[in-house]
Every structure is written in structure tokens, then in C-alpha cells.
Amino acid sequence: MEPISRRAFLGLAASAGVAIATSPPSKLADRLIPYVNPPEYPPSGQWATYATTCRECPAGCGMHLWHRDGRVTKAEGNPEHPVNCGGLCARGQSSLQGLYDPDRLRAPQRSGGALASWPDAITSIGDKLRNRRGRVVVLSDLQTGALREVVESFAAAFGGAALFWEPINCEALCGAHDALFGLPQIPAFRMEQCRLILTFGADFLDTWISPVEYAAAFSRMHAFREGGMGRMVYVGPRLSMTAGNADDFLCVPPGGELAIAVEMLRAIAEKGRPKGDARTLTAHLKALSARAGGLPEGVSRARVESLARAFVESPSSVALAGPAGGSGSAARDLAMAAALLNYAAGRIGSSMDFAAPHALSRAAGNRQAEALLEGLTQEDILFLLGANPVYALNGAEAALRRAGAVVCLGTMPDESAALAHWTLPVDSPLESWGDYEPRAGVHGLMQPTLSRLHNSRPAGDLFLEVARAAGKPLARPGGAGAPENFEQWLHLCWRELHARLSPLTPFDLFWHDSLRRGGAYEKPAEVSVQLRPVADSMVERAVPARLVNDSRLGTAGSTTTDAELWVWPSVMLFDGRVANRGWLQEAPEPTTSITWGSWVELHPRKARALGLSDGDVVEISNERAAIELPLLVTEDVAENVAAVPLGQGHTALGRNATRRGANAFRLLGGVEGPTAFGPVKLRPAGRSAPPTSVAPTQDQYKRELLQWMPLARLRAMNPGDGNPVVLPLPEGFDPRRDLYQGRKYDQHRWAMVVDLHRCTGCGACGVACYAENNIAVMGEEQLRVGRELAWLKVVPYRKEGSRRLGWLPMLCQQCECAPCEPVCPVFASVHDGEGLNAQVYNRCIGTRYCSNNCPYKVRRFNWRNNEWPSPLERQLNPEVTVRCRGVMEKCTFCIQRIRNAEHVAKRARRPVKDGDILPACVQSCPTRALLFGDLLLSDSEVSRLTHNDPRRYHVLESLNAKPAITYLMRIEQDEPV
């Protein structure tokens, strides 16, 4: 570099002086602009919660949205809601990222992306409708209530059809129940009261029908109570999250589930005095067994018979049939077998209750959607509402290209919107009025939780306005009024509900009460269920050719390049509609801990036969499509199975979703074979692209991080038995072991208990933590080099010496003798007066010594200044610091919530009660596996469990860090059924 001249130096110095003297405008707000007339509610600068209904999947859980100063920052489960009772899954949490998605549609668009005004759009579409020569067809996602009425009357007004289609729709269940009982419905499964749950590939803790509700019920039936606990048996080809939680996992190839179910039925019919109509049952059994193969390898007849005995003899039990994405005859046969098992054991009306059918019963299946789309011609006008058939339905792309006009109403620029002639942005569910009835008798209400962010409109209003523009204003069916807008329509619907549910209270009271509680709930009427005789069509259906030899269930008859496809919706991405949300992409999949991608799982023997190893890319093909995915070699799948998750492989949708993984929907189609998804061919693609996993191993290396306790041992123990844990209190001080005296706490000593037996591994807590604590999404490249930021990680571990899986939620243990504290040169890591291990961001200089010294590896370092693409920054919690580059961070036990609860208690002049404080992870947990409280309070739940529960232990107790998180061991059933 050239030496700087005197003249240049003086010039630089002068301009710098001028720049400093004129002081560039400060970024700080120096104006205070109050309201002219403040709204009555919510109070400015204070939290308010709004109850609404989650619309991220058909389960329809109740939510509370935390609102402050015009924006919502956190979604929580509504404790009053009968479906989820307070828990909320990862996808529900992420509804905020859907709302603030930077790639959301913001204004009406013509094809090609030209922006248009609303009047233009509506008159132009109205004209199209007025001059139509073909049909008007609406393909919507599942709706019930007012919006369904609007869409149906819209289709009816133009002589068309409306279909409410879900890509993952459990149509096999509806078909089976229709054939057996004449009820094309998905009943309510009352698992809470069961002692035995038998699931044939139904991942009811992951994504099957209503996972939060079922997870809560499962955790209660599976809890140790009065010397016993319920049992779950999983029969299926892949160790899914649900299978990992099962007491017995029977790994069978696809098709093997039906064989076992039929064999069980036979055992019950022949030996076990079946309940109900035995003759019809036998006839059904005969029809079914003609289509079922022999028992799969490794499952003995005696085992099946003892399972059948347990199923019938247990006080209450239920059989469930999956897979969620299966739609062919094999899935229906399995659903029939499971329903017959329930019938034979007398579970209809108790644990399998048709009185409260699920909303999914009203969803159209893939077959109907395909038929609808196939019939489209040049003349037809197709309206899409929230449905993305181009992504999730083979052949839909051609149909959309064929259609005369496609009008797409949605929030995201997805694959179907890319083909649409008009794209109309609609309000996100969090901005809209609406209602949804997840199951009969649960009328969930939706209300706007903030004012709309973009130039969008309510979907219902758009249908009303377009119809008006086309000269056919819509009216409610049966002459019940012609509302101006959708909100009025909703009110009219709820007036009818009011007249039915509580005619004696004034409507306003009923309405506001429903708004507050998140809906109106009633007890549905009972229904009587009778087994129908075997329909002719069911008997005569040809036995598929491949079924004739039983070798299909082993590897003998098939070539090494063949495998049975097993497609499963992942717990984070479900059917892929949420794939653009950073939180969900970054959240590890529970069984593999893989983030930001998709993969195919093969058994080691299969992989060896193909000459492949971990990370190699495999081409998976069938007659419909071929996709390429990296390989994960695992013993968790049956030998002849290629297991692929759904949800990735988008070609549109936004920055996080596009061009990531492969779309397994491409391989699906109506399969009429002996397995749910049919066979695929595998071929090495000749390159390697390993997926990104955030848990490099599931091996515990004998460290006993995650412990199991046999049920028999637990049964013999009393409260207080077991290994005492060293408490993070003065009484935990031992001069032989400790250098320093224990700290004294006068007010509180916060602590947590994690019941590992209740934890199903769903990862909702992790995503809740992202939402509450302003944790940045790092992206795949950063995760690959280990720069993750998750404060709470649910890590899957194997039981020593077995393949059994358990999950260990790992977060800062808030140790009493925290190894991170003495090594910090600047006292950024300090202990506070309530036992918390505080991280002072302003002091932190980023030496990362603390992280090196933390045995639990829960400290996270900010390697960069993180950005929140607008408007995602509106989701940030105003009560939590946004950390910058060079700063260490970690779990704070949600200190902001602790302070809030303390302040509320202080204002009410009372002490903080047990249960006042719910950190975000504790609040979201569907199974109540996490518990937070004060160790100094002798009667707090946390105190009781930490002192007395026989299953208590600390992770890495030998290090004497005295963690404040006490884990309760998983319980192991004594012997397999």
C-alpha cells in the first residue's frame, strides 16, 4: 500500500470530522405517538391472547395467539379446547411463520406475474364466469362450516362441483368403514381409556388424523399408574416415531400387517368368542383372508395368537390402521381388518366411536380429486382454494394446463399457483374469521388475531364478490339469508348453532363466550353400528397376481433392485404445505435427526446388495416417476422396503422449500396391489450427497444418558426409593466432593422435571423455543458445520444393546455447580439468585470457553449476525434480546415468562404459585412430559418428583454439576405380548 499523503490525510480527517459533527440521524425512535382514541382491548404495550383454531392440518387444534401492539408473536395450545387440551405440535407453532412468510402472495396476479388491482381481478373473473361455456369446479382443502357452505353454494350457483380434498386423507378408513358398517366415516378413537393399542402402520403420534390429541391420550394410557401401564404394539415396516414409542415393534414388510391382522381375527373368531354378529364376521374374515398373504418371517403364529388374546381380554383396546397416505385396496383391506378386530373385541362405541366422526370423513380422496381433474376441458374454470394438486397429485399438472381458466386462491406462490391464470392472495388463517369442526360436536371458531399484513382478502368474501360480479349473488342454502360478506355468513351459521346449543342465552353472550373459549362444544348423539354383510364386490375382487406366491414378503422372490415403497408424512413437514417455514425445515426429524432435506431409508442388506453406502444417491422409480434421494442405511426398516418421507421436493413455494430433496408424491397413485404403495425399482445414481443430520449418533456409548427401568422393578418400588439425586440446593453440598459451600436461595430455585416415558419425541418443544426466544434459522450449510442454534434439542438414543429408541429433550440444565461459569473470563456466564445460570450478552466476548466446558453441549454460539427477512421480524418476541454475532446463548428457562409471572403475582400481592410459570417448551408439550416449578416449594409437583419419584436421575450425574433438570426414566414393559 502506498503511504498516504499529508494532503489526503488532512482531507480524510476533515471529512470524518464533518461527518461526526453533523451526526447522521439516529436510528432510535425519538417520537412518541400515542393513540387518539385507544382501542378498549388490547392495552397498549401489554400482552393479549386471542383464541382461534389451527388450520395447519385437518386435526383442527385450538390455539391461543399472543398478541402485542398489533402483531402476534407466539402460538400456544388452548387448554380449554377438547381436541388438544393445551398442547400444540411443531406445525401449529409454525403457523406464525406461515403468517409472516416473506414469500407470501401480496397482491392479485395474472399469469406471468403481472400485478392487478382487486376490482380488475374480480370483474375479470366475474366476466369469465358470466361467459362460461363449460363447468365451474372448485378444488379446496378440507373446510367445514361457513366457508364450506360458501364454496358449495358458489359451485352450485354456477352448476359446478366443489371438492374438499386433502393429500393425506385416510380415505382407506372411510372406504373400509363404509363397506363394513355403512358409515363412510373416520370415528373418534378413544385411546385414553385403552389398555392396549394395536397399530398397523398408523403413525398416530406423528401425523395420523389428530396427532396432538392422540399423543395426549397415549401419554395418559401409557403412564405408570396403580402398578401397571397400557401397552402399545406397532406392526409396520418402519421404526417411525410412533413405533419408537411402542412397547412392542413388529417389523414386517408392507403387506405383512394385513396377514397379522387377519390371523388375529381368525384366532378371535375361532377361539375367542367374538362379540357381535359372528356369522357375518366369519364371512368378512373369509373374504379378507383370500387377499392376505402368509405370516411374515419372524412372526410366529403363537405370537399372533397371544396378541389376539390380549386384544380381546384387555378391559379396553383399539386397533388402528395406517398408513396415512395409503389410498389403494391394500390400505382399505388393512383398515377393514382393523375395524373387524375392533368389532370382534366389542370396541365399537367405546374406544372406536362413530358418534363423533372426524372432519377428515368429509374430505375427498385422491381418486375423487383425480376424477375431477381428469374431466377438465378447455371450457372449464377451475378454482383452487388452499389446495396444491400440482405438488401432491400425479397428473394434476396436465389437467391444470388443459383447463380453460385456473383461479388460485391461496397464501403461498405454490406449484399450482404458478400454473394459474389468476392468483388471488387470501388472508392467512390467523387473519381470518372462520370456523372449523374437527370432529362432530367440536365447533372451533377462528378470529383475526391481528390486522392483515398484505393486500389480501378473506377467501369467503372473494367467492361472494366474484359471484356477485358474475350476476349470481350467493345466498345461504334453504333461504337462510343472503349475507353481504363472509363475516355475516359466519354469524348466520353461528346463529343457527346458537339456537341449537344454547337458545336461552342471548346470542352476543354465546358468541363472545365462544370467541373466548375458542369455540362451542357439544356432546354428539350416540349412533348404533351394525356389521353389514359382505358385499359381492368385496369377495369377487381378483386376488392380485403377485400375491399368489408368498415370497413377496421375503426377499427370495424379488430381485435386489426391487423394493416395496413406504411413503410416510414427516412429523415436521406433513404433506409439504409448510415446507417454506424455516423452523420446520431446521427442526430435526425425530427418528433420524435429519434437517433440510429428504432421503430414502434402506436396510443394510439391501444397501449392500445394491453396492451402496450412507449418503449415496439412489434413483427410486416406478411406472409413474423416478426421483433421486440420498440413502440412509438403517436397520429400522424391513428388509425389502424403501422408506421415503413426504413434504420436500417443491419446485415453487418460496426460498426455503424450493429445490430441496425430492417429492415422493410423484411415486404415488391408486395402487391395486398387495401393498399400500406398490413396488419400486432402485438404481444407484452414481454420486453422493449425504443429508444433514444434527445428531451424528444414536449410540449412548455406555454413558447412560437415557435410561430405562423395567416395569417389574418399578412396581416393587415406593415413593422415595431409587437412586437419590444430588439436589441443586444447599443440601446437595458434600465437603468430600465439593470445593465451595452451596448457594443459598431465599425466594425460588427453578427446576424442571422431564418425564422421558411421556416424551414421544415430536419436537414441538424445540419449535416453541424458536418462537419464544427469537432463535434464528441458520440454514443447511451452517448446520452442516455444526453451527446450530437450537436451545432445546430432542435427541433420539438407542437403549444399550438393543434397537429400542427413546428421546431425550436436552436443554440447559441450569446446573448448581455449572462448569460453564468458572471458565468465563468476563463473568458473562453467572449464577443468579433464583438458581438460573444466566448468560449476560453484553459482557460476552465470544471466547466460547463455556461451551467447551459444558458437558451437556447446550450452549450455542452466534457465528453471524442473523437476519429475519421482512416481515418475519414482526414475529420476534419484544421481551427477549435479539443476539448479535460473537455472543454465546442458551436456554434461559424462559426468564421473560418467569419475570412476567412474578410481576403478575406481585401485583396481585400473592406468592408465585406452582404452575404459574409455563416456559414455552412446557406449554407446548402435547403429552405434558415437561414440568417446571420451584424446588424450594415443598409441595410443588417438581419438588415432589425430584425428591420422591423412583425413576428420577440426572444426566451425567457423576460430573457433580448438580443439574436442575431431573429426568424420569422410560419404563420398559416386562415381556412382549
Partner 1 sequence: MSAEQATNPPTPRSGPSRRLRRAAAWTGAGSLLLVLGMVLLCYFYYPAGLGKEQPIPFSHRVHAGDKEISCLMCHTTATGGARAGIPPLETCMLCHRRIIITYPKVKELREHYFAGRPVPWVRVNDLPDYVYFDHSMHLLRGFDCGKCHGDVKGMDRIVQPQEFKMGYCVQCHRDNGASHDCTICHR
Binding-site ranges for partner 1 (CB under 8 A) = 28-38, 43-46, 830, 832-834, 836, 838, 840-842, 879-881, 892, 895-896, 899, 903, 906-907
Terminal-to-terminal C-alpha distance of the chain: 80
Give least dist CB 842 to partner 1, A.
7
How far apart CA 708 and CA 712 sit, in angstroms, is 12
Nearer to partner 1, 896 or 923 (CB): 896
CB nearer to partner 1: give 223 or 830.
Answer: 830
Shortest CB 508 distance to partner 1, Å: 25
Q: 130 or 906: whose CB is closer to partner 1?
A: 906
Q: Which is nearer to partner 1, 394 or 896 (CB)?
A: 896
Beta-strand relationship, 71-77 and 62-68: antiparallel
CA–CA distance from 137 to each of 154, 285, 534 (Å)?
10, 41, 35
What amino acid is encoded at 806 in this protein?
A: G
Query: Between 6 and 31, whose beta carbon lies closer to partner 1?
Result: 31
For residue 811, give Cα distances in angstroms to 242, 257, 303, 485, 815.
23, 38, 41, 48, 11
Instruction: Write down the least CB distance from residue 220 to partner 1, Å.
Output: 35
Measured in degrees and rounded to the nearest 5, phi and psi for residue 395 equal 90, -10
645/835 with CB nearer partner 1: 835
| Least separation in angstroms between CB 833 and partner 1 | 5
What are the grid coordinates assigned to 733, written together?
A: 453440598
Half-sphere exposure of 718 (CA within 13 A, CB side): 0
CB neighbour burial string for 579-598, b if at least 16 within 10 angstroms, e if fewer: bbbbbbbbbbbbbbbbbbbb
Return the number of the residue (31 or 736) whose C-beta is nearest partner 1. 31
Smallest gap from residue 896 Cβ to partner 1 (A): 5
Least distance (Å) between residue 250 CB and partner 1: 49
Q: Residue 400 or 894: which CB sits closer to partner 1? A: 894
Question: Min. distance of Cβ 881 from partner 1 in angstroms?
Answer: 5
Smallest distance from the beta carbon of 451 to partner 1, in angstroms?
17
The whole-angstrom separation of Cα 47 and Cα 63 is 15
Q: Is the Cβ of residue 10 or residue 904 nearer to partner 1 in the bound state?
A: 904
Min. distance of Cβ 933 from partner 1 in angstroms?
Answer: 18
**Could you give the count of Cα atoms lying within 13 Å of 45 in the half-sphere of its Cβ?**
4
Q: For residues 365 and 41, give the distance between their C-alpha atoms in angstroms, rounded to a whole number.
A: 43
Q: Give the pairing of strands 381-385 and 136-140.
A: parallel
In whole angstroms, what is the distance from residue 758 CA to residue 402 CA? 51
Nearer to partner 1, 297 or 832 (CB): 832
Closest approach, Cβ 732 to partner 1, in A, equals 21
Least Å distance, CB 844 to partner 1, is 11
Neighbouring C-beta atoms of residue 264, cutoff 10 Å: 29
Q: How far apart are CA 631 and CA 637, in angstroms?
A: 13
Task: Round to whole Å and give the CA distance between 179 and 185.
Answer: 11
Place of cell 348404533: 528
**352 versus 891: smaller Cβ distance to partner 1:** 891
The distance of Cα 116 from the centroid of its chain, to the nearest Å, equals 36
Inter-residue contact 380 to 136 (CB < 8 Å): yes
Name the pairing type of β-strands 136-140 and 161-164.
Answer: parallel
- Closest approach, Cβ 827 to partner 1, in A, equals 9
Torsion of CA 784, 787, 792, 797, to 10 degrees: 40
Residues forming beta bridges with residue 235, ordered by sequence position:
200, 250
The least CB distance from residue 829 to partner 1, in Å, is 10
Distances (CA, A) of 703 to 43, 310, 476, 856, 957: 51, 36, 65, 12, 10
Residue 516 C-beta: closest distance to partner 1, Å: 21
Nearer to partner 1, 31 or 523 (CB): 31
DSSP classification of residue 268? H
User: How many C-beta atoms surround the C-beta of residue 536 within 10 A?
Assistant: 9
SS3 810: strand
Q: What is the DSSP string of 324-386?
A: TT--SHHHHHHHHHHHHHHHHTT-BTTTEETTS-BGGGGSB-HHHHHHHHHT--TT-EEEEES
Q: What's the closest the beta carbon of residue 772 comes to partner 1, in angstroms?
A: 11
In 689-723, DSSP assigns E strands to 692-693, 708-710
8 Å CB contact between 125 and 407? yes
